[in-house]
Structure 1
Amino acid sequence: MLHWILTFGLIASLALPLVLVAYIRNRKVVWSYFLIFLAVFILNGMLMVLAQKYLNIGVFALSELGWWQIKLASIFWGLAFVFTFKPISLKEFGLTFQWNPGSLKPVVISTIVIAVCLLTYHYFFDPFGTKSAEYIIFQSTMPGLAEELTFRGIFLTLLNRSLGKNWNLFGAKIGWGFIITTVLFGAIHGISIDPNLELHFNAIPILITGFFGAIFCWMREKTGSIYPSVVAHNLFNVVSNI
């Protein structure tokens, strides 16, 4: 358990130098929201670890993947948080179907273009292997629901409250929260500490997931909702694995 605490603590600490730069540049940081972000980021990671360890029972024990309980735990705690954290509304967390005006078309077009590029790449350079029905069902539902709710819903919103949004990226208003969540999303897929307390660093997953994390974050900020990024996230997963 210690190695997981150290893993998520190490990844969370990557936000600190970025926040320091933001403070030096703007002198405006709401530290209470940043501390809440750090706490819920580490909590999310630890709950997933506990779910994998203690909820591998019943129907979950029949799974060939062993991942369902991890993502479901992340979804359930995430929903509990956004529904009970009264200082921020569900709409601000991105749980809304009221998209920002003019955001639908560019998001749909970018989603289709990227999906076609992924499909083309895998067809010519990385041929698809045979995947089980359970694997495809999982990839088409759980990652997008869990990771968009937590990263682009909860974490991004808390960081936006802490650091504000002062830039414009292709029509989306973004801030340091965009950068931090993108960095952490990549890091959590490629940095770990094993039970022997040895550090493992894999740059390829970090770069790939960080790139897609930035796309999902842009969709979230462009539309004001996490639902488009949920759909895109799961679509990209399926296209990359069918």
Structure 2
Amino acid sequence: MDPSAPSVAATPVTSARWIAPVLAPALAVLVASGLLAPMPEGVQFSDVVRSAALWAVILVLITIGVGVLPLLFGSVRPAKRAGGVGRAAPGRVLPALLVVSGFLVLTALAGRTPRLAFFAQFEHNWQGKVVDLLWVGILFAVLWRWARDDAHLTWRTRPGSGRTALIVIGAVFVLFAGLTVMSVSIDPAMHQQVGAEQLLYNTTIPNLTEELIWRAAMLAVLDRAFGTPWRLAGAPVGWGLVVTSVAFGAGHLILLSANGEFSLSVSGGIFAALMGVLLAWIWAYTRSVWPAFLLHCAPEAAVDVGMLLTG
């Protein structure tokens, strides 16, 4: 089968059979956390959930706001022929945005649900990422043909794309490792200790789940609705890249602490949005989620390595 061929199987927009099994693990952990999770002094479980829901609503509004722009300006036109991920389907834009919004709510609640005792002992939020991996894994298992053909959940990359992808991933790693070494050399106070947990967190499940959700799931859904009429350095892209990159940036711009306090990180938001574009590009260019995962790991792992080299 041609790896670029569109899936004719059910997708998250055309089928509802994925909804109940996908919701199950997220809701189960939410209930368990409400009953068993140790809470910081003075913080109520309901307040944490309310803040997480508000954070999710803000991201949903941003996502839908950006997503309807091409409809308002007539940038999404019906295809002359039916079928094909590369051809727009305007009638499915709003349903696709609603599905993506559902994914946003799930990952927002998973990442901000109070941690159970086992996970509370760790510095990083492994619980949220494991829950994300569970529900997105179930999504792909239920709609496995869509996952393989549209979401590019495959080890095989597009022929001829592997070398370019490795060059980009290596360049990003070297850049950030070099910047870290240079920064610490100029100002030793910037040095931070890097432990085994941090190395594992920056190179395993957390970045994998984000790529499975933001690129493999969200971008696949949006590309089928918006189409991919543009070319970005050899990769077929469209409004899905814009929507996911803006939302990804907004998720790192608007921060929510464990006790429900909001703050802004402008630099984090800008960097995440730019990385969102690069990650969407490599996903579309290689037609595989795994190079996107490696690229997502590259800057964080490079900073860790830079810290270790200067330690």
Could you state the TM-score of these two structures normalised by the residue count of structure 1? 0.89
Match of 2:50 in 1: 2
What are the Cα deviations for residues 213-235 of structure 1, in whole angstroms up to 9, with x where unaligned?
A: 22111110101111011122123
Contact residue 52 and residue 260 of structure 2 kept, 8 A:
no
Note if 1:62 corresponds to 2:110: no
User: Which residue of the other structure, out of 137, 150, 160, is the alignment partner of 1:92?
Assistant: 150
Assess, with a 3 A threshold, how the Cα gap between structure 1 residues 195 and 150 changes in structure 2: closer, same or farther: closer
Give the CA deviation at 1:197: 7.8
Give the CA deviation at 1:128: 4.0
Match of 2:201 in 1: 138
* Rounded Cα–Cα distance in structure 2 between residues aligned with 1:57 and 1:198: 22
Output the aligned Cα RMSD: 2.1
132-141 vs 84-93, greater mean Cα deviation = 84-93
* Rounded Cα–Cα distance in structure 2 between residues aligned with 1:61 and 1:13: 31
User: Which residue of the other structure, out of 224, 240, 250, is the alignment partner of 1:187?
Assistant: 250
Assess, with a 3 A threshold, how the Cα gap between structure 1 residues 208 and 133 changes in structure 2: closer, same or farther: same
* Rounded Cα–Cα distance in structure 1 between residues aligned with 2:180 and 2:91: 43
Could you say what secondary structure the match of 1:165 adopts? coil
AA at the equivalent of 1:132: G
Note if 1:219 corresponds to 2:282: yes
Note if 1:40 corresponds to 2:103: yes
Could you say what secondary structure the match of 2:68 adopts? helix
Q: How many residues align?
A: 237
Assess, with a 3 A threshold, how the Cα gap between structure 1 residues 26 and 197 changes in structure 2: closer, same or farther: same
User: Which residue of the other structure, out of 181, 185, 203, is the alignment partner of 1:123?
Assistant: 181
Match of 1:172 in 2: 235
* Rounded Cα–Cα distance in structure 2 between residues aligned with 1:115 and 1:40: 29
Give the CA deviation at 1:86: 6.2
AA at the equivalent of 2:227: G
Contact residue 227 and residue 238 of structure 2 kept, 8 A:
yes
* Rounded Cα–Cα distance in structure 1 between residues aligned with 2:259 and 2:192: 33
Note if 1:11 corresponds to 2:74: no
Could you say what secondary structure the match of 1:241 adopts? helix
Assess, with a 3 A threshold, how the Cα gap between structure 1 residues 237 and 195 changes in structure 2: closer, same or farther: closer
What are the Cα deviations for residues 122-155 of structure 1, in whole angstroms up to 9, with x where unaligned?
A: 1112454211111111111122211111111111
* Rounded Cα–Cα distance in structure 2 between residues aligned with 1:201 and 1:45: 17
Unpaired stretches in structure 2, ≥5 consecutive residues? 1-48, 78-89, 185-189, 306-311
AA at the equivalent of 2:62: L
* Rounded Cα–Cα distance in structure 2 between residues aligned with 1:194 and 1:6: 13
Match of 1:158 in 2: 221
* Rounded Cα–Cα distance in structure 2 between residues aligned with 1:5 and 1:17: 18
User: Which residue of the other structure, out of 221, 228, 231, is the alignment partner of 2:294?
Assistant: 231
Match of 2:22 in 1: none
What are the Cα deviations for residues 91-136 of structure 1, in whole angstroms up to 9, with x where unaligned?
A: 3212102211221111111111111111111111245421111111
Give the CA deviation at 1:194: 6.6
* Rounded Cα–Cα distance in structure 2 between residues aligned with 1:29 and 1:209: 30
Assess, with a 3 A threshold, how the Cα gap between structure 1 residues 29 and 172 changes in structure 2: closer, same or farther: farther
- Structure 1 segments (4+ residues) deviating >4 Å: 193-199
What are the Cα deviations for residues 164-186 of structure 1, in whole angstroms up to 9, with x where unaligned?
A: 11100000000111111111111
* Rounded Cα–Cα distance in structure 2 between residues aligned with 1:47 and 1:134: 20
